[in-house]
Amino acid sequence: MSEIESSTPASTSTRGPVGETRSVGLSILWFILTLGIYGIYWVYKTQEEVKRYSGNGVGGVLGIVIYILISPVTFFIVPSEVRYMYEDLDGGQSPVRGIYGLWILLPIAGPIIWFVQVQGALNRYWESKGASPA
């Protein structure tokens, strides 16, 4: 019996700090104005916040490396990490999944649709944990 008790997670309250919400429209605008450089910042911040909060995920630095070297993989990793928080941590239903990375195949509109869905899901998740709205 003691082996079973010791193998269960200690508590769900051991989560890290809640991430920030970000305005979808302003984020898209910053991405355009900085010619994509904001995307690197967004990937770092988003993946680092998820890692700090959930203890799961690739984290900010490795997220940037993946984004720079094999960018399309990021479009599958981020929604997978969001799904993990919604479903595995909280037992809810996630509005996004890793398969959403396929939006990248649709020129121009695909990445925008992907971003709106993923950032929207993240904003709703962080707000449900007490973060102020974007």
Residue 17 lies in a domain: no
Q: What is the mean pLDDT of residues 2-8?
A: 42
Distance CA(59)–CA(61), nearest Å, equals 6
Residue 90 lies in a domain: yes
Tokens of 98: 């890793």
Residue 6 lies in a domain: no
Residues 39-86 have pLDDT tens digits of 999 999 999 999 999 999 999 999 999 999 999 999 999 999 999 999
Backbone angles phi, psi at 6, to 5 degrees: -75, -20
Distance CA(18)–CA(35), nearest Å, equals 29
For residue 22, the SS3 value is: coil
Number of H-type helices and E-type strands within the chain: 6, 0
- Mean pLDDT, all residues of the chain: 91
Residue 16 lies in a domain: no
Residues spanned by the domain of 111: 23-128
- CA distances 104 to 50, 93, 100, 101, Å, are 22, 23, 8, 6
**CA angle at 29 for the pair 103 and 102, rounded to the nearest 5°:** 5
pLDDT of residue 134: 81
Number of domains in the chain: 1
Distance CA(2)–CA(125), nearest Å, equals 35
Confidence of residue 10 (pLDDT cuts 50, 70, 90): very low
